[in-house]
């Protein structure tokens, strides 16, 4: 019975969000500075059109060039898979970097900790666009100096995985590092840590067995935000590096609202899975159920 | 509010941001006429032509000189006021509507929490720049027009794309606050919602709203950087003919002001040629975002300290009571151990 209820909530959640996406797109099309009755009719027509397009998903075609049309689903799959692999890879990498970084930083002496924190704070105020700009500049600079082309910065890397994953994961991992470190410092002053240390457990043991678990809750509850940040990074990277990813595809098809709506809905699925899975993990770690799903 | 200035971080950030604005206004009203334009051509001692714009950065031109022969540093300074004021205006709008929406949500719409959360999720997972792009994608760049009307439209869109999540954040914060004992007892004594908002919610929210305001300003600045990269320009664009009369007409779009995202977006192709033209506005963005982040950090500390000070005060006042002998019931109090 409980499982049924859970499945129902998840379904309703998904449906509502996808409907909202459609509404946003329909509104974006009908938007004008001064509201008029015409705006409402346009909005309603668009909304209906988008809604029904989900039922005829097999019949939608996209124009790849002036003369060439192809069915949406088969065209979409390749960039979608590519982008998702990069996204999940980047998520894993940034998680790894952030947690090891926080762990190492936590064992450093206090003055060094302060310096690392200061650097992280400054790095965080670099916008992702500018970060990617500077990567491009760096690649060019290396090329000029040494004639070694790490990657072609303009023509894009065709289905190359390592470099985009690294690039997308750096800024989010700095963010995650700060969160994890903060969670560690908050955890440190709690009585159970003092008690464990007083009993003679080593600092590393306490850190791994006890504090890490509790700090993980903070990390997982910020997962949504991290994933969002990563999406924005991916969007910029794909655009600036001419990668053949999903966002690039959506950007090229931005004049056909149906494609954008379906694309965003598909992008929403992994996001939602992360959301639900994160809450499950927290519930498992703490043994407390916080709300359904 | 004044206490914030006693915080080092806040003051430092404020000085940087205010300094940028001040320099920008000084430049457009006064310095503009004093500072000499960079030379159109550079000759060496023998009188031979060595260089024409763009020049690379030097001590005389810190960020270099761009293709039109203008000093990038002063262009950036000139653009500071447009960019920063746009960001401030956007975050002010977001906050004004967000507060009203948050209060309504917290007081009247708690039953629809489930629906509200899934609607907001749609806004939360799509990057703000992508949502913004959708609004402008259906109009080609040349037909967007220019001037005040476009600017107002853009600012409204920038404010709207982040509004629902902000409403939910503020609303949830207020909803938690409303469960406090003193609010409940105030309500039991017959206070209506308007009174609660005026006497409890707003005083509690004021420092938090200020913090949110600064955080939203950072977000809007980030959005502006993205806009630059995707070539959506503040206030529209003007298309000028850049040809020299001999070759085919070469249409070049220029931003109406020296606003930073325009400086980045329009000279993006300079990246491969003369990087300093793009690097200048990028540095400016980093400085501005850093300044506002410092202010936010300082403000967070001030709010934290305020809470701690109140606690300490409470402790002191309870410690001030002299214990009587033999001890009476009033000497003890129940402590909730968390």
The answer to whether the CB atoms of A122 and B290 lie below 8 A apart is yes
CA distance B68 to chain A (A): 22
| Selected residue of A14, A125, A168 to mutate for chain B interface (largest B Cβ count, 10 A) | A125
Residue from A31, A83, A190, A293 to probe the interface with B (highest B Cβ count within 10 Å): A31
Average pLDDT, chain A: 79
Query: Best mutation site among B117, B125, B151, B268 for testing chain A: the one with the most A CBs within 10 Å?
Result: B125
Is A235's pLDDT higher than 80?
yes
Residues pairing with B65 in the sheet: B71
Residues on chain A touching B149 (C-beta within 8 angstroms): 33
Q: Does the beta-carbon distance from B118 to A124 stay under 8 Å?
A: no
For an interface test with B, which of A9, A28, A154, A250 has the most B Cβ atoms less than 10 Å from its Cβ? Answer: A28
Q: Hey, are the CB atoms on A127 and B285 less than 8 Å from each other?
A: yes
Contact A17 B137 (CB under 8 A): no
| Contact criterion met (CB < 8 Å) for B226 and A133 | no
Q: Which tokens is B277 given?
A: 């033209």
Residue A191: list chain B partners with CB under 8 A.
none
Whether A13 and B118 lie within 8 Å, measured CB to CB: yes
Q: What's the CA angle centered on B39, arms B33 and B239, to 5 degrees?
A: 75
* Interface with chain B: mutation pick from A5, A10, A16, A119, highest number of B CBs within 10 Å: A16
pLDDT score recorded for residue B98: 93
B54 preceded by a cis bond (ω within 30 of 0) = yes
Question: For residue A230, what is the nearest residue in chain B, using CA coordinates?
Answer: B127
Q: What's the half-sphere exposure (Cβ side, CA atoms, 13 Å) at A165? A: 19
User: What are the two backbone dihedrals, phi and then psi, of residue A66, each rounded to the nearest 5 degrees?
Assistant: -65, -35
Determine the Cα–Cα distance for residues A9 and B129; give it in Å rounded to an integer: 30
The verdict on a CB contact (< 8 Å) between B138 and A255 is yes
Task: Report the alpha-carbon distance of residue B283 to residue B271 in Å, rounded.
Answer: 14
- Which stretch of DSSP H or E encloses residue B237? strand B237-241
Residue labelled with tokens 């309703």 = A12
- What per-residue confidence (pLDDT) applies to A35? 67
Residue range A238-267: mean pLDDT, rounded:
82
Check pLDDT > 90 for residue A287: no
**Helix H segments across chain B?**
8-26, 32-34, 72-108, 113-125, 128-137, 148-161, 163-177, 181-188, 193-196, 202-229, 260-266, 276-319
Compute the distance between CA of residue B57 and CA of residue B276 in angstroms, rounded to an integer: 7
State how far residue B289 is from chain A, nearest Cα, in angstroms.
6
The answer on pLDDT for B247 being more than 50 is no
Share of chain B above pLDDT 70, in %: 70
Mean of pLDDT values over A113-121: 87
Range B49-53 average pLDDT? 64
Per CB-CB distance under 8 Å, the chain B contacts of A252 are none
Q: Which pLDDT value is given to residue B246?
A: 47
Rounded alpha-carbon distances, angstroms, from residue A287 to A31, A61, A290:
47, 48, 10
Question: Are A31 and B119 within 8 A, CB to CB?
Answer: no
Average pLDDT value over all residues in chain B = 78
Q: What is the pLDDT of residue B139?
A: 58
Q: Tokens standing for A89?
A: 């890879």
Out of A31, A247, A272, closest to residue B135 by CB: A31
Q: Report the distance separating Cα A26 and Cα A46, nearest Å.
A: 5
DSSP string, chain A: -HHHHHHHHHHHHHHHHHHHHHHHHHHHHH--SS--HHHHHHHHHHHHHHHHHTTTGGG-EEESSSS-EEEHHHHHHHHHHHHHHHHHHHHHHHHHHHHHHHHHHHHS-HHHHHHHHHHHHHHHTS-HHHHHHHHHHHHHHHHHHH---SS-TTT--TT--HHHHHHHHHHHHHHHHHHHHHHHHHHHTSHHHHHHHHTT--HHHHIIIIIHHHHHHHHHHTHHHHHHHHHHHHHHHHHHHT--SHHHHHHHTTT-HHHHHHHHHHHHHHHHHHHHHHHHHHHHHHS---S--
Percent of chain A with pLDDT over 90: 0
Gap between the terminal Cα atoms of chain B:
32
Taking contacts as CB-CB distances below 8 angstroms, the residues of chain B near A231 are 125-127
Candidate from B134, B157, B229 with C-beta closest to A260 = B134
pLDDT at B251 over 50: no
Per-residue confidence (pLDDT) for residue A71, from 0 to 100: 76
Query: Is there a contact between B42 and B55 (Cβ–Cβ < 8 Å)?
Result: yes
Three-state helix/strand/coil letters over B38-101 = CCCCEECCCCCEEECCCCCCCCCCCCCECCCCCEHHHHHHHHHHHHHHHHHHHHHHHHHHHHHH
Chain B residues with CB-CB distance to A129 below 8 A: 225-226, 228-229, 264
Condensed to tens digits (0 to 9), the pLDDT of residues B265-309 reads 777 666 666 677 778 888 888 999 999 999 998 888 888 887 777
Question: Is pTM beyond 0.90 here?
Answer: no
Residues on chain A touching B139 (C-beta within 8 angstroms): none
The per-residue pLDDT for A193 is 86
- Provide the pLDDT confidence category of residue A117 given band limits of 50, 70 and 90: confident
Q: Band the pLDDT of B137: cuts 50, 70, 90.
A: low
Rounded Cα gap, residues B27 and A284, in angstroms = 60
Cα B85 to chain centroid distance, Å, stands at: 9
C-alpha distance from A29 to closest chain B C-alpha (Å):
7
Backbone phi and psi for residue A71, each to the nearest 5 degrees, phi listed first: -65, 145
Whether the CB-CB separation of A83 and A251 falls below 8 Å is answered with no
* B226/chain A closest Cα distance in angstroms: 7
* A30: chain B residues, CB-CB within 8 Å: none
The residues, ordered by sequence, that sit 6+ positions from B164 with a Cβ below 8 Å of its Cβ are B119, B120, B123
Mind telling me how many Å the CA of A229 is from chain B's nearest CA?
A: 8
Q: Tell whether the model's pLDDT for residue A16 goes beyond 50.
A: yes
pLDDT digits (tens, 9 = 90+) for A160-189: 777 788 888 888 888 888 888 888 888 888
- Are B282 and A236 a contacting pair at CB < 8 A? no
Cβ-based contacts of B289 with chain A (< 8 Å):
125-127
Min distance A208 CA to chain B CA atoms (Å): 24
pLDDT tens-place string over residues B280-292: 888 888 999 999 9
Q: pLDDT, tens digit, for every residue of B205-218?
A: 888 899 999 989 99
Lowest average pLDDT, out of A76-85, A143-152, A183-192, goes to A143-152
Location of structure tokens 């300094």 = B19
Q: ipTM of the assembly? A: 0.80
pLDDT of B249 = 44
User: Between chains, do A240 and B229 touch, taking CB under 8 Å as contact?
Assistant: yes
Apex B214 CA angle, B209 and B216, nearest 5: 90
CB–CB contact A224 B124 (8 Å): yes
Mean per-residue pLDDT, B50-63: 66
Is residue A126 scored above 50 in pLDDT?
yes
Contacts of B228 in chain A (CB under 8 A): 129
Q: Highest mean pLDDT range out of A269-278, A282-291, B203-212?
A: B203-212
Is A291's pLDDT higher than 60? no
pLDDT, position B94: 93
Measured CA to CA, the distance from residue A3 to residue A7 in angstroms comes to 6
Q: Across A19-23, A204-208, B173-177, B312-316, which has the greatest mean pLDDT? A: B173-177
A133 → closest Cβ in B125, B152, B282: B282
Q: What is the pLDDT of residue B262?
A: 77
pLDDT (0 to 100) of residue A232: 84
Q: Smallest Cβ distance to B119: which of A20, A126, A247?
A: A20
B133 and A127 in contact by Cβ < 8 A? no
Residue of B nearest to A122 (CA): B290
**pLDDT single digits (tens) B187-206:** 899 888 888 888 888 888 88
Residue B273 to residue A16: CA distance in whole angstroms: 48
Q: Tokens in use for B88?
A: 């401030």
How far apart are alpha carbons A233 and A132 in whole angstroms? 9
Tell me which chain A residues have a C-beta less than 8 angstroms from the C-beta of B225. 127, 129-130
Nearest CA-CA distance, residue A251 and chain B, Å: 9
B122/chain A closest Cα distance in angstroms: 5
């Amino acid at each position: 019975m409980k499982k049924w209820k859970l499945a129902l909530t998840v379904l309703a959640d998904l449906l509502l969000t996808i409907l909202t996406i459609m509404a946003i797109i329909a509104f974006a099309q009908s938007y004008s500075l001064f509201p008029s009755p015409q705006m409402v009719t346009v909005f309603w027509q668009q909304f209906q059109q988008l809604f029904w397009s989900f039922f005829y998903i097999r019949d939608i075609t996209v124009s790849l060039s002036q003369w060439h049309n192809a069915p949406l689903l088969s065209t979409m799959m390749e960039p979608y898979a590519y982008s998702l692999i990069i996204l999940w890879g980047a998520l894993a990498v940034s998680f790894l970097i952030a947690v090891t970084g926080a762990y190492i930083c936590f064992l450093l002496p206090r003055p060094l900790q302060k310096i690392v924190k200061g650097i992280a704070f400054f790095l965080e105020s670099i916008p992702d666009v500018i970060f990617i700009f500077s990567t491009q500049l760096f690649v060019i600079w290396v090329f000029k100096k040494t004639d070694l082309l790490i990657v072609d910065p303009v023509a894009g890397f065709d289905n190359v995985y390592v470099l985009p994953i690294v690039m997308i994961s750096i800024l989010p991992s700095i963010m995650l590092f700060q969160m994890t470190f903060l969670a560690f410092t908050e955890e440190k002053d709690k009585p159970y840590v003092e008690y464990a240390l007083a009993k003679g457990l080593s600092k590393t043991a306490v850190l791994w067995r006890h504090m890490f678990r509790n700090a993980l809750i903070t990390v997982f509850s910020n997962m949504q935000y991290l994933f969002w940040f990563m999406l924005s990074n991916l969007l910029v990277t794909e655009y600036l590096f001419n990668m053949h990813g999903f966002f690039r595809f959506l950007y090229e098809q931005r004049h056909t609202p149906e494609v954008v709506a379906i694309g965003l809905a598909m992008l929403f699925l992994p996001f939602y899975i992360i959301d639900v899975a994160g809450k499950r993990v927290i519930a498992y770690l703490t043994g407390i159920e916080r709300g359904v799903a | 509010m004044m206490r914030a200035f006693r915080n080092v971080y806040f003051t430092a950030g404020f000085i940087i941001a205010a300094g940028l604005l001040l320099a920008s206004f000084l430049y457009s009203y006064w310095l503009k006429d004093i500072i000499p334009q960079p030379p159109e051509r550079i000759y060496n001692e023998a009188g031979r032509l060595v260089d024409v714009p763009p020049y690379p950065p030097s001590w005389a031109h810190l960020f270099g000189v761009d293709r039109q022969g203008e000093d990038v540093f002063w262009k950036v300074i000139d653009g500071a006021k447009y960019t920063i004021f746009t960001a401030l205006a956007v975050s002010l709008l977001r906050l004004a509507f967000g507060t009203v929406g948050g209060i309504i949500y917290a007081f009247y719409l708690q039953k629809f929490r489930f629906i509200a959360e899934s609607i907001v999720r749609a806004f939360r997972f799509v990057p703000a720049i992508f949502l913004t792009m959708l609004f402008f994608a259906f109009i080609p760049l040349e037909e967007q027009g220019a001037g005040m009307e476009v600017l107002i439209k853009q600012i409204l869109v920038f404010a709207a794309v982040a509004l629902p999540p902000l409403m939910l954040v503020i609303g949830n914060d207020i909803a938690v606050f409303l469960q406090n004992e003193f609010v409940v007892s105030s309500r039991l004594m017959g206070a209506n919602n308007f009174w609660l908002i005026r006497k409890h919610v707003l005083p509690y929210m004021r420092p938090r709203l200020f913090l949110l305001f600064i955080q939203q300003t950072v977000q809007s600045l980030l959005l502006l950087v993205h806009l630059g990269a995707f070539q959506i320009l503040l206030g529209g664009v003007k298309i000028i003919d850049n040809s020299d009369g001999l070759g085919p007409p070469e249409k070049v779009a220029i931003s109406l002001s020296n606003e930073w995202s325009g400086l980045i977006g329009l000279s993006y192709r300079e990246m491969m040629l003369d990087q300093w033209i793009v690097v200048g506005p990028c540095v400016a963005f980093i400085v501005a975002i850093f300044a506002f982040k410092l202010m936010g950090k300082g403000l967070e500390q001030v709010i934290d300290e305020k809470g701690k000070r109140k606690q300490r005060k409470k402790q002191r006042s309870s410690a001030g009571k002299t214990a009587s002998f033999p001890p009476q019931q009033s000497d003890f109090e129940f402590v909730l151990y968390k």
